[in-house]
Amino acid sequence: MAKLNYKDAGVDIDEGNRFVENIKPFVKSTFDKNVIGGIGSFAGAYELPKGYKEPVILAATDGVGTKLKLAIDAKKFDTVGIDLVAMCVNDLICNFATPSFFLDYYATAKLKTDEATDIIKGIAIGCKESECSLIGGETAEMPGLYAKDDFDLAGFAVGIAEKSEMNRVKLVKEGDILVALGSSGIHSNGYSLARKLFFEKLKLSFESEINGKKLIDTLLKPTKIYVKTFKKLKNRIKALAHITGGGITENLPRVLPSHLNAEIKKDKIKVLPIFEFMRDHVEEDELFRTFNMGVGMIIVTDDKNLDFILNNSNGYVIGKITKGDKRVKFI
């Protein structure tokens, strides 16, 4: 009887090595002066940036959710890596942390080097856009655990904040102004509902057009990364809320003191066409507690800093801070 090897069990070590060689240039392109060493060690090393009085290390982790299923079915893998980075670094900046480095975890039934390379390329693009270094990752080939062609992604971002700048809630006052930063699309939340609506209920295809755009292109448009905007506006921001799963309804209260509300004028929100389309099929309250509705971030600021923020971003005013009990109130 012939003896078994790892490839017989579904894991191809040579393919894994080829993949590593493929991604090296993309990974190295994200390195900054703080990265110590290169690719291939047991851990990534990053020197703490200088200039902080009381540096605090913050970490965020996330995935892309069932948006991955659309990428797999459409065989389009060049954008979900950007989503992965965006979901992590956009959380970090809400705690006033500057993203420093990123790691990824890619698990699949069978490694397909070309597809996996596209994913890592996307991660590298996201890292460069967020000005953080991709210093490590893990690729796991696990036949029997994942169905054929399926894979999963997880991301891990680490940033540095000044301890004195982290508590943003205490800065929020009655009369402060709420500024929306536009989203690029659905981003990476609510895709189980979106998939059920478009492909099960409405029986649409990837090639179906909504407002002149192919549905699959709209659905796979990557999450906007707000790091550069944050860096530009940082000293003018009181608090910052990332509008992810739960929408404005559940995310904005995270930056409110217990005695204040966020009062938002619904008609001021620049709702994206894809959400306008969905309004005919999903209750509005459900839309607002599931999707970003065209708002990727909300800045809390005051009168004296408002003009600077509006002149240096795509932001626009959607409401204000009022007395209340830590809730969002739509008017």
Tell whether domain 7-40+47-165 is in CATH 3.30.1330.10: yes
User: What share of the chain in percent tops pLDDT 70?
Assistant: 99
Mean pLDDT within 254-275: 97
Which residue type is seen at 299?
Answer: I
Q: What is the CATH number of domain 169-330?
A: 3.90.650.10
Mean pLDDT within 176-196: 97
Is residue 209 within 8 A of residue 215, CB to CB? The reply is yes
The confidence score (pLDDT) of residue 14 equals: 80
The confidence score (pLDDT) of residue 27 equals: 86
Q: Is it the case that residue 15 has pLDDT exceeding 90? A: no
Give the residue range(s) of CATH 3.30.1330.10 domains in the chain: 7-40+47-165
Q: How confident is the model at residue 9 (pLDDT cuts 50, 70, 90)?
A: low
CA trace torsion 160, 116, 153, 166 (10° rounding)? 10
CB-based contacts of 68: which residues, under 8 Å, 6+ apart? Answer: 80, 151, 152, 153
Query: What confidence tens digit (pLDDT) does each residue in 85-137 have?
Result: 999 999 999 999 999 999 999 999 999 999 999 999 999 999 999 999 999 99
Global pTM reads 0.95
Q: Is it the case that residue 11 has pLDDT exceeding 80? A: no
The confidence score (pLDDT) of residue 8 equals: 63
Give the residue range(s) of CATH 3.90.650.10 domains in the chain: 169-330
